[in-house]
Amino acid sequence: QVQLVESGGGLVQPGGSLRLSCVASGSIFRINVMGWYRQAPGKERELVANITTGGSTSYADSVKGRFTISRDNAKNTVYLQMNSLKPEDTAVYYCNLRQASLGYWGQGTQVTVSS
């Protein structure tokens, strides 16, 4: 089993920054993909960014140039640095880990961008 625990969400003004963290524990394979998804009220969950153990990244078009995903493989931790936040970034952000065709989710952390 794999457990994911997110932290770092909160309320921030437009143009501000937040850093999300997600720590994975349990049966973590050496090769995996970790990422962040988000779900706004009334919308489907969408991919924000992901990163492989080798460091390859991909981003949703809506966050390119503003968000940066990174990871520390030794700590089984993934980060999401979010800059220039917009009200439309408001959502519950979920950490995800995929390995051996299985996917695991964290409990989610709320990010609210509002003045």
pLDDT of residue 33: 97
Q: How far is CA 61 from CA 42, 48, 98, in A?
A: 20, 9, 21
pLDDT of residue 41: 92
pLDDT of residue 90: 98
Cα–Cα distance, 9 to 59 (Å, whole number): 19
Tens-digit pLDDT profile for the chain (115 aa)?
Answer: 899 999 999 999 999 999 999 999 999 998 999 999 999 999 999 999 999 999 999 999 999 999 999 999 999 999 999 999 999 999 999 999 999 989 999 999 999 999 9
pLDDT of residue 69: 98
